[in-house]
Structure 1
Amino acid sequence: MSSRRHRKRKLKAEINVVPYIDVMLVLLIIFMVTAPLLNLGVDIELPQSNARPVEQKQEPVVISMNSKGELWLKLEGEENEATTLDNLVLKVGAFVRNNKDVPVYVAADNDVAYQKVYDVLTALQTRANVPRAGLMSQPTGNVKK
């Protein structure tokens, strides 16, 4: 028998990056699909008014109501978040207890039923102990379409 020649194979010191690229592409697709779903603002059409703009010493709490009557809450330094009336009362009540002089405004779409706006204002005063809540409006002539 002839003696076999044993060759030492050189080891390749490579990292297979294909699985990493696959994962990155999947993450890219996920982010591209979910990015449009993030609602950074609430699309509302405020009623017109001749009222003067109010000077703000601190950022107000803004409760937005779109034309469907859905509630959105924007607290100081946070983004708008969809909420329910009960959750809104809890969060605004806790925030106002810690920040007594913070202004609270309701920005309701022009098409929202008056009763829904009234219900929110009543809940803010009776359940969240907000001493004063204002209504936001669009200055006359600056209507957004």
Structure 2
Amino acid sequence: MARSNRPRRRMMNQINVVPYIDVMLVLLVIFMVTAPMTNPGVVELPQVGQSLKQPAAPLVISVLQDKTIQIEEKKLQLNDLIPVVQESMEKHPGQAVVISGDKNARYEDVIKVMDMLKQHKIDKVGLLLKPAS
């Protein structure tokens, strides 16, 4: 085998980044020049004729350990709950109902109250929880 007299080319393991830096600097200058010229969008909000009404505070139903129900310091039985809640809902339409279960109350008692409210078409029902400190 004959060997050629040409010097063997060595592989380059470097990348020439100078052209990329030039392009980046040109783009940076373009953006710096055009950015002050852009008009930021200004949103004009509609005005309301009357002040917005704040929703009523939620009605808190407390389920105690002895299966009694308490609404605003009045103790009730489960059967007396719905008329009191419906009366409050008539006074404050759209009012939410929040159930607060005692730590020692049975889970079943809290669910009974929630189920009874749902059966009587009271949809805004939630549970009140105490955050861990």
Q: TM-score, normalised by structure 1?
A: 0.50
* Pair member with larger Rg: 2
Three-state SS of the structure 1 residue aligned to 2:103 is: coil
Q: Deviations over 1:6-41 (max 9, x none)?
A: xxxxxxxxxxxxxxxxxxxxxxxxxxxxxxxxxxxx
Three-state SS of the structure 2 residue aligned to 1:97 is: helix
Q: CA deviation at 1:85?
A: 1.3
Q: CA deviation at 1:114?
A: 1.1
> Alignment partner for residue 97 of structure 2, among 104, 111, 116?
104
1:63 corresponds to which letter in structure 2?
I
The alignment's C-alpha RMSD in Å is 1.6
Q: Is the 8 A contact 2:65 2:104 kept in 1?
A: yes
**Structure 2: which 5+ residue stretches go unaligned?**
1-53
Q: State the match for 2:75 in structure 1.
A: 82
Q: CA deviation at 1:101?
A: 1.3
**Structure 1: which 5+ residue stretches go unaligned?**
1-55, 75-79
Q: State the match for 1:120 in structure 2.
A: 113
Q: State the match for 2:124 in structure 1.
A: 132
Number of matched residues? 80
Q: TM-score, normalised by structure 2?
A: 0.55
